[in-house]
Structure 1
Amino acid sequence: MQLISVLGCIGKADSGGISLRVAFESAPLKLRVSKSSLSFARIIHVYVSMALLLLMLFFAVTGITLNHPNWFSQADQEPKREQVPIPAYLLPVDTQDAQWRLATGHWLKSEWAMDMATADIDEDEISLVSKGPGTYRSLTLDLLDGQAYVETLEYGVVAVVNDLHKGRNTGTAWAWILDLSAVLIILFSLTGAYLLLPQTKRLKKSLLYMVLVSGSCGLVYVYFVP
């Protein structure tokens, strides 16, 4: 109800020619919260902020690298190509044999960190693709000449951290890290806002800044984003 009163006062003030700042400062806003809840919120806010410190810096820096890829672009990377013989114990090749598939899967996992379950199997070749943060690898097993052809691309450190920021090709464990980070950021934001409730002057100014910044972002989106 207090927030509605503030907004109503703002509307009246604007219609009378009074600035938005004056409207916020003159609007009645009295909120009561218990000391115990404030103490609990302060503890959560402090410890969550420390837990998030490096993560927030990471996401802030990688937000810049993502937004300005030309600043950090590298010359076109040349793929690293390798040719190795298929191990003798995997010959002759029999793609229909379960034991052969199992043994080949172990070899692919140990040598190239690739999963046989994702393989595309044809009559004369087996092909696999593996993607990781900032990396791409393709492997082809030529069943006719008994050779394995591997091509690896590494796009550099910036590409790695950008993929970590986006959660692209990072696996389930990193996805949980991103989800946990999001929950902690929500807690950090809500507890910070809660701590402002008994501080009337700061709360009014904070609401003003929130409205101005959010409104500015909305205007940029409406008028400048294609």
Structure 2
Amino acid sequence: MTTEKNNIVSAPAGLGKKPVKKPAGNGKGKKRFAGLSRWLHIYLSMVSFTILLFFAVSGLTLNHADWFTSGKEVVTKDLGNVNIKWVNQLDTNKINKLQIVEFLRSKHEVKGALSDFRIDDSELSLTFNGPGYLADSFIDRETGKYELTVTRFGAVAVINDLHKGRDSGKAWSWIIDISAVLMTLVSISGIILICFIKKKRLSGFIIAAVGTLACYLIWKLFVP
């Protein structure tokens, strides 16, 4: 006697099931983008760690100058003579400015950039400026005698001037620009990363909005 079980014919595998459509690479694309954002955020933060820390600390020292002592100002004075032919010229265009500047740099190790060179009837005046540094020299055109006064304002003054980019030269100006770009990229990559963290996404954007609103209200209500 043939059983009912033996009369059952097996259906081909997968028959009657609807094929499931797989997303066309969307999941992989998002993972790659999230991974790239994470990579940028981590390594840009590490590359820019020192310079960002510097600008954070110097922003505090600059905003609260009364909290930090700039260090004792060190003033040194020197006297001497330059070659009278360099300065005693009827035609002031014949005065070799570069020669005078290089003489002061080599003899007294004057630093900073030349910010002012004035020629009067009786004397020359030169001013050199650098971060936390000032040097003034006055040269008598008739005798060639000069007086050089150098003032060093201390470590905190150097930090503050570097933060502001004052008298720090073109190379440091590039550092400021690069650090600004890095801070922007670190911030943007952090915002992108929070978008991929579902549990933290809403709270993260709420906190960012609260911080932005707080800064705006302080500026609007309390900044004169």
TM-score, with structure 1 as normaliser: 0.76
Structure 1 position 104, deviation (Å)? 2.8
Matched length: 194
The alignment status of 1:93 with 2:91, answered yes or no, reads no
Measured in 2, the distance between the counterparts of 1:128 and 1:153 equals: 14
Measured in 2, the distance between the counterparts of 1:132 and 1:59 equals: 18
- Residue pair 1:108, 1:114 contacting (<8 A) in 2 also: no
Q: Residue in 2 aligned with 1:104?
A: 100
Measured in 2, the distance between the counterparts of 1:209 and 1:159 equals: 36
Measured in 1, the distance between the counterparts of 2:179 and 2:112 equals: 29
Measured in 2, the distance between the counterparts of 1:61 and 1:214 equals: 22
Measured in 2, the distance between the counterparts of 1:173 and 1:116 equals: 16
Structure 1 position 77, deviation (Å)? 3.2
For the aligned residue pairs, the C-alpha RMSD in angstroms reads 2.5
What percentage of residue pairs aligned between the two structures are identical?
Answer: 32
Quickly say closer, same or farther: Cα 1:203–1:92, change in 2 above 3 A.
closer
Measured in 2, the distance between the counterparts of 1:104 and 1:34 equals: 64
The alignment status of 1:77 with 2:59, answered yes or no, reads no
Which among 206, 209, 214 is matched to residue 208 of structure 1?
206
Quickly say closer, same or farther: Cα 1:114–1:213, change in 2 above 3 A.
closer
Q: Residue in 1 aligned with 2:125?
A: 127
Deviations 1:179-224 (A, max 9, x none): 0000011111111111111212211111111111111122222222
Quickly say closer, same or farther: Cα 1:68–1:113, change in 2 above 3 A.
closer
Instruction: Extract unaligned runs of 5+ from structure 2.
Output: 1-26
Instruction: Extract unaligned runs of 5+ from structure 1.
Output: 1-31
Deviations 1:20-75 (A, max 9, x none): xxxxxxxxxxxx86111222222211110101111121111111111110111357
Measured in 1, the distance between the counterparts of 2:78 and 2:49 equals: 42
- Residue pair 1:129, 1:136 contacting (<8 A) in 2 also: yes
Deviations 1:123-152 (A, max 9, x none): 211111111101111111111232111111
Name the amino acid aligned to 1:84.
Answer: G
The structure with the largest helix share of the pair is 1
